[in-house]
Amino acid sequence: LQGDFSTEKPLGTVAQNTAAYLGAMKNPAVQIIGHPDDGTYAVDFDELVRHAKEHGVLIELNEASVRPRSYRRNGRENAAVVLERCAHYGVKVVVSSDAHVECDILRHQYALEMLDAVHFPEELVVNRSVDALLTALAEKK
């Protein structure tokens, strides 16, 4: 085997990381931006959410990011900011268990607590029902 197989990933600047997300949102196949709350790759949350609104992209609230002792850098704090910006701009979110093993499927305890803590509007949570999710996915511009 040849090549660099290290697990180190280059950390872009806030502008570079934000630009990467904005570029992805322009792709019509992208419907959801997954856990942008990981502070390892810092982004401009206001710009991210404004562009999500513009492109009809959903933002994920990730259980693994907001649970205590998460390995994601500043996940809880960043998720609170992202949710505040989503509420401000009317951007819809999808709550994810981030299950990598079967025992985590449908576990959303900390994500739901976070939604309550920031008084997030229920109508902006698309996977509160199958109909709401399908409608939100069909709205992609």
How open is the CA angle 62-138-43, to the nearest 5 degrees? Answer: 35
C-beta neighbour count of 132 within 10 angstroms: 17
Assess whether pLDDT exceeds 60 at residue 30.
Answer: yes
Question: How far apart, in whole angstroms, are the C-alpha atoms of residue 97 and residue 120?
Answer: 18
pLDDT value of position 104: 57
Average per-residue pLDDT for the chain: 85
pTM: 0.84
Assess whether pLDDT exceeds 70 at residue 4.
Answer: no
User: If you average pLDDT over residues 97-107, what whole number do you get?
Assistant: 61
Assess whether pLDDT exceeds 80 at residue 95.
Answer: yes
Percent of the chain with pLDDT over 90: 50
Length of the chain: 141
Tell me if 93 sits within 8 A of 61, measured CB to CB. yes
pLDDT tens digits, 37-87: 888 889 999 999 999 999 999 999 988 787 777 667 777 889 999 999 999
pLDDT value of position 69: 73
pLDDT value of position 1: 41
